[in-house]
Structures are given as C-alpha cells and as structure tokens.
C-alpha cells in the first residue's frame, strides 16, 4: 500500500478498537498506545498527502473522548489512604485546595465527618462519598474535628492501619482568636473573647475547656493518635509556613504521600489584600483563585494582656508538643 491508503485503514482499525473497548476485550494501555500513534499519523496524512476524508475528524475526537471515558470506567471508589485530620482554623481548607492541583490526588471537597458524627452509617456509606480514583492515585478527605474527637483514632485505625494522617497546626493563640472570629460572624451576640477565655478573670484562671482554647492543646490530642499510629504515619504542616512558603510545605506533604513534587512555587502568588497565597490556576480552571471571602477575615480585637496571659498558658503545652513531634514551630 502507498501512504495515501494508510489513513482510511487506520480509521477502520480505530473504529474497531473502540467497539472492542466497549466490550472490554482489549487492554487500556494498548488502546492508549495505538490511539496516540494513529492520531498523529492520520493528522499528518490528512494535511500533507491527501484530501480530508468525511467523518475522520469525528473519529479522532471520539478516540480522545474515549480516553477520558475509559479512565472513568477504570476508576473506582475506595476508602481514603490519607486524611487531613486537623486542626480547625489551622489552614486545612487551603492545604486541601492546594493538594487538589496534583493529578495523583483525588480529594473529597466537603467534610464528611464520618468518624466523629456519621460512624454508624458504616464504611460502605463512607466509601460511597469518596471521589472515583484510578490505581496509583491517592484518595483523601479532610475533617478537622477528627483531631480532637476522642473516639476517632481507634475508629480510623480499624478502617486502616496504614492510613497517612496530616495535621495542620498553627500558633494556638492566633488559632483561638480566628476560631472566635468565625463564631461571632455566625452568632454575633455571644460574650466577648475575654469573658469566655477565663473561668475567673480576677485571678486569671483560663477556661481550657472552652472549645477555641481546648483545640489548641495539641500535645493532649496528639497523644491519643500516637496510641494508635506510629509517629512516621503522622505529618505535621505548619499553618504559618503554609502562608509564608506554600510550595515548601506542599513539597513535604507530597513527599509524605509518596508522590512526585508536581505542585511547586509556580502555582502560587501572594494576595496582599487577603494576606495569604492564592492559586494561579486551580483545578479545572484557567483563572486565578483565592479561597472564599470567609478566609482571611480581620480578626477580632483582643486585649493585649489577655493575649499575654494565653501565651503563658500555652507555653508548657507547646514545649511538650515540640518534644513529642521533634519539631519546633517557634510560637511565642
């Protein structure tokens, strides 16, 4: 055959391959190889050697579309191999959005709260919540409440002994103020931060059971997780580092997940108005993207003496956390 006869023949072969694929007869890898080869040959022949053949373009398009449909067909719903377990107001949403840029990460966008609120629904329900993923892709979700919920470590361990756990931590005083700022945005008539932070303002006794302060007792919460999981399975992300050096923190997370470092500094720019990094090109978009307007709120104004007292309160807890983790986060 001369070259002008090749393209129609290839078109017939491709059409037959498509039929065979729909019946599940031929391997996906062979299809990708043939489709890639044939597409370039057909285009070369159509441009250089002969008039276009009616319907050929639609055949090529259908091949390329089938690449995606085959991926969908091969993808399955699996239980997560990694969890972002905390902490609230630490930067978990930012971390998740940044990680979703990676082609080998499939992450649930919403917080399923399975291990703390919906555990009775069972693992089949939990699996059904997960996005479909191909072999080699890491499935993950984030629910910051997991880190501080007493029952959660044992429940996670019963799902998987090998799950990778990620915790974003942030200066507990700043985190508490951020938490309170979010609370008053929803319930504006609650008492002041200063009133809620103390059991007794006169003698300076801190109410460590008040949720915004209790969440910041990181060593206490981490201890429960270390009773079930080795330290090597828990990766700590600096919330401050996520703002000042997002690519550096993302690089360490990608290493921890066993993935190639694909999300790098070229993906970020710093938004001076919001005061934190934004994505140049988020997943599925060609436009820059910053997190929602609830992120980067101006914090409530707190009495400096109260902040000083809280720093004193947290200092021994922070030191214990540094010793447990082998990481010094440099909080005041």
How many angstroms separate the most distant Cα atoms in the chain? 97
Ligand-binding annotation for 90, yes or no, is yes
Ligand-binding annotation for 16, yes or no, is no
Determine which one of 71, 88, 89, 287 is catalytic. Answer: 89
Ligand-binding annotation for 297, yes or no, is yes
Ligand-binding annotation for 92, yes or no, is yes
Beta partners for residue 268, in sequence order: 279
Ligand-binding annotation for 295, yes or no, is yes
Ligand-binding annotation for 296, yes or no, is yes
Is residue 114 within 8 Å of residue 143, measured between CB atoms? yes
Ligand-binding annotation for 170, yes or no, is yes
Q: Which residue in the block uniquely carries the two structure tokens 């993923």? A: 133
DSSP per-residue string spanning 32-97: HHHHHHHHHHHHHHHHHTSPPPTTHHHHHHHHHHHHHHHHHHH-EE---SEEEEE-TTTTHHHHHH
89 belongs to the catalytic site: yes
**Distance from C-alpha of 147 to C-alpha of 68, rounded to nearest angstrom:** 37
**Distance from C-alpha of 242 to C-alpha of 248, rounded to nearest angstrom:** 8
- Residue 71 burial (CB count, 10 A): 13
Ligand-binding annotation for 89, yes or no, is yes
**Distance from C-alpha of 183 to C-alpha of 301, rounded to nearest angstrom:** 14
Q: In the chain, how many H helices and how many E strands?
A: 13, 11
Ligand-binding annotation for 91, yes or no, is yes
Is residue 250 within 8 Å of residue 99, measured between CB atoms? yes
Annotated binding site: 89-93, 170, 178, 295-299
Question: What residues act catalytically?
Answer: 89
Annotated binding site for 3'-phosphoadenylyl sulfate: 89-93, 170, 178, 295-299
């Amino acid at each position: 055959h001369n070259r002008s006869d090749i393209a129609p023949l290839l078109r017939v072969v491709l059409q037959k391959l498509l039929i065979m694929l729909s019946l599940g007869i031929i391997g996906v890898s062979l299809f990708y190889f043939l489709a890639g080869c044939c597409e370039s040959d057909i285009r070369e022949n159509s441009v250089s050697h002969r008039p276009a053949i009616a319907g050929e373009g639609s055949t090529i398009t259908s091949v390329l579309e089938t690449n995606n449909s085959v991926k969908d067909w091969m993808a399955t719903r699996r239980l997560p191999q990694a969890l972002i377990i905390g902490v609230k107001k630490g930067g978990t949403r930012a971390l998740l959005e940044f990680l979703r840029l990676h082609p080998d990460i499939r992450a649930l966008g919403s917080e399923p709260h399975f291990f703390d609120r919906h555990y009775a629904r069972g693992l089949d329900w939990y699996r059904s919540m997960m996005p479909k993923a191909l072999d080699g892709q890491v499935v993950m979700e984030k629910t910051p409440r997991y880190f501080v919920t007493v029952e959660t470590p044992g429940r996670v361990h019963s799902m998987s002994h090998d799950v990778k756990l990620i915790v974003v931590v942030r200066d507990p005083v700043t985190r508490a103020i951020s938490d309170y700022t979010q609370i008053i945005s929803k319930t504006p008539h609650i008492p002041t931060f200063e009133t809620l932070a103390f059991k007794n303002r006169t003698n300076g006794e801190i109410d460590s059971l008040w949720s915004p302060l209790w969440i910041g007792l990181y060593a206490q919460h981490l201890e429960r997780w270390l009773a079930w999981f080795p330290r090597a399975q828990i990766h700590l992300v600096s919330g401050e580092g996520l703002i000042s050096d997002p690519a550096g923190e993302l690089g360490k997370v990608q290493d921890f997940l066993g993935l190639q470092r694909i999300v790098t500094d070229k993906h970020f720019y710093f938004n001076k108005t919001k005061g934190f990094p934004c994505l140049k090109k988020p997943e599925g978009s060609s436009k820059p993207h910053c997190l929602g307007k609830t992120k980067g709120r101006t914090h409530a104004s707190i009495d400096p003496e109260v902040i000083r007292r809280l720093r004193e309160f947290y200092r021994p807890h922070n030191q214990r956390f540094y010793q447990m983790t082998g990481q010094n986060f440099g909080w005041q």
